[in-house]
Amino acid sequence: MLIGPVFSREASTAPRRSRHFVARATYVAALVLLIATAWMVLAGTQVIRNLGDLARFGGILFQVLAPLQLALVLFFSALFAASAVSQEKDRQTLLLLLMSDLKNSELVLGKLLAALLFVMVLLVSALPVFMGLVLLGGVEVMQVVRMYGVTLVSAAIAGSLGSTMALWREKTFQALALTALILFVYLGAWEALAQFGGTTQIAGLPAVTWAAIGSPWRAVLVATEPMIRPASEGQRPFDPVSWFLLYGTALAVAISGLAIARVRIWNPTRELRPTRVEPDAEPGLQQPTQSAALAKQHGAGRHVWNNPVAWREMRTWAYGRKIVAIRLAYVIVAAMAAAALFGGMEVTRTTGLMVLVPLFLISLVLVNAQAVTALTTERDGRTLDLLLVTDLTPREFIFGKLGGVLYNAKEMVLLPLLICLGLWWRDSISAENTFYIVVGLLVMDVFVAVLGIHCGLIHENSRVAVGTSLGTVFFLFIGVAICMRIMVAFGGTFQSFQYQLPAFLALIFGGGVGLYVSLGARNASTAIFWAAFSCPFLTFWAITSFLLDYTLAVFLVMVASYGFTTATMLIPALSEFDVASGRSNSNE
């Protein structure tokens, strides 16, 4: 009860849910599986001669797993914190909490820590795995402690940001999008300082050191490096990890302090506030409300399209007027990426991937967030049931939502394509590769949009729907990144990649099971089964082909696999709409 009843309730009810035990066991099993896969790759391509080779294996493996855990913690801390508050707002239960005698600190910190409880339990569960790496050699106990300190502080920063954005903004998509964009810009700014600043001295310290002080990503990379022993007791080297812990803690406290001070000012939202009566108005009369003013501005009536869902999504402010700020923020992010590519930097394969891949990732995450919240907002606002009893056809509803998602996220879809076309115009990439990238991005945009609508339909709980949808997109990128990292770190020459398939079979199978559970939670089918288990295998094959410079093979496989997966989600939503939306079950 020290933090308040909100956290106390979550702490007492969380152990009763079976999914917490499943999640902990799955996370630990995944880490052990990654360790076993890395060992199989190493043993299959190199000869282990002595304990020094084993120690180097432990050190490299620690440097692979620690950033992976940090990425998961940053993503899920921000996601869980933002979605926990947004769900309260969508269901209008936050008003009940505000009407109680809860203090602002109890409300804000209670929701924040309740959302981070799941992440903290996963970290504690994984601690024995990381301590086990110490037994291999090459890793010290203090390195694990420092890495965990950076990870915990990073979780506090991301969670505080997500909770504050959700308390401030009125719509779920606004909270998720602003949280993702701010995190992306924050990490990208420090990374740019490290890349372009290098050893340049700023206030007596190199730019790389300042990046490690401010960026969780840079801090965890420093924490995983072997510790430097002081030359003498009175002369200790500068430790950026310690300074990051101080700075990160202060930043998390400042963000949460802002939310504590403003929570009852930001809420209730403007939509629920009573209309202010002008002093010069006649008694008993009020000035026109916002909706009346809009109606007057647009005339007595507005022409509605044949598809009213598409009309509402594209021609009204269905997701709030602040979505313009999100679009502007993404335009700024895209402009920063374009400035890095066209500002004199030599565009190579490595530098292009460093700039474009994060931009592609944030665009796909935002499109997916727009899609899943388009359904969860309707469900939490109890308007989805009204739509289901109208004479709307499944085609009108699904394609109306899909068209609205792509229209509202048009900047996220078009700007990465324009940057790629600009690189082709400057002869930085060939016309063939430009075609592959543009078409591939369009396929992925449609895939994540359909995935969001699919998860919003099959999951009744909004937090589960948002977490499943965004988590699937995130794990696709993380899975690709970790496979490539293990291959490069332990695989030796590129020519040996075709012999690494047996080592990755367990990871591929695990990814297939996770994708099948994600896509077929309610309306499983044979097509979803084949899509779920073939997509990870084909993605792995595409990774090896990409590293071997087989661009056409990568394009064909990715378009075919993700295009087929999109069809397996879209066709049941149209042909079996009642089952997919929960209006009836398959037995009926």
Question: Considering the domain boundaries, does residue 278 fall inside one?
Answer: no
pLDDT at 241: 92
Task: Look up the domain containing 490 and give its range.
Answer: 305-581
247 shares its domain with 366: no
- What's the rounded mean pLDDT across residues 537-561? 82
Which residues, including other chains, have CB under 8 Å from residue 314's CB and lie 6 or more apart?
403, 404, 407, 408
Q: How many CB atoms neighbour CB 408 within 10 A? A: 22
Spell out the SS3 assignment of 405-474: HHHHCHHHHHHHHHHHHHHHHCCCCCHHHHHHHHHHHHHHHHHHHHHHHHHHHHCCCHHHHHHHHHHHHH
pTM, two decimals, is 0.84
pLDDT at 70: 94
415 shares its domain with 497: yes
426 shares its domain with 496: yes
User: Quick check: 258 pLDDT over 90?
Assistant: yes
What is the band of 303 on the pLDDT scale with cuts at 50, 70, 90? Answer: confident
Question: Considering the domain boundaries, does residue 146 fall inside one?
Answer: yes
Question: Considering the domain boundaries, does residue 329 fall inside one?
Answer: yes
Question: Considering the domain boundaries, does residue 572 fall inside one?
Answer: yes
249 shares its domain with 321: no
**198: buried, middle or exposed (CB in 10 Å: 19+, 13-18, 0-12)?**
exposed
- How many domains would you assign to the chain? 2
Question: Does residue 232 sit in helix, strand or coil?
Answer: strand
- What's the rounded mean pLDDT across residues 326-330? 88
Question: Considering the domain boundaries, does residue 82 fall inside one?
Answer: yes
Percentage of the chain exceeding pLDDT 70: 85
Question: Considering the domain boundaries, does residue 285 fall inside one?
Answer: no
61 shares its domain with 180: yes
The tens digit of pLDDT for each residue in 416-447 reads: 999 999 989 988 888 988 999 899 999 999 99
- What's the rounded mean pLDDT across residues 73-90? 89
262 shares its domain with 309: no
Q: How far is CA 435 from CA 431, 551, 552, in A?
A: 6, 11, 10
pLDDT at 296: 47
The tens digit of pLDDT for each residue in 456-503 reads: 888 888 888 888 888 888 888 888 878 777 777 765 544 455 556 676
309 shares its domain with 261: no
321 shares its domain with 423: yes
Question: Considering the domain boundaries, does residue 294 fall inside one?
Answer: no
262 shares its domain with 324: no
Minimum mean pLDDT range among 103-117, 272-286, 351-365: 272-286
Instruction: Work out the angle at residue 313's Cα, subtended by the Cα atoms of residues 309 and 317, and round it to the nearest 5 degrees.
Output: 135
261 shares its domain with 322: no
H runs (alpha helix) in 267-344: 290-298, 308-315, 323-342
User: Quick check: 263 pLDDT over 80?
Assistant: yes
The tens digit of pLDDT for each residue in 200-257 reads: 888 888 888 999 999 999 999 999 988 766 555 555 667 899 999 999 999 999 999 9
256 shares its domain with 310: no
206 shares its domain with 261: yes
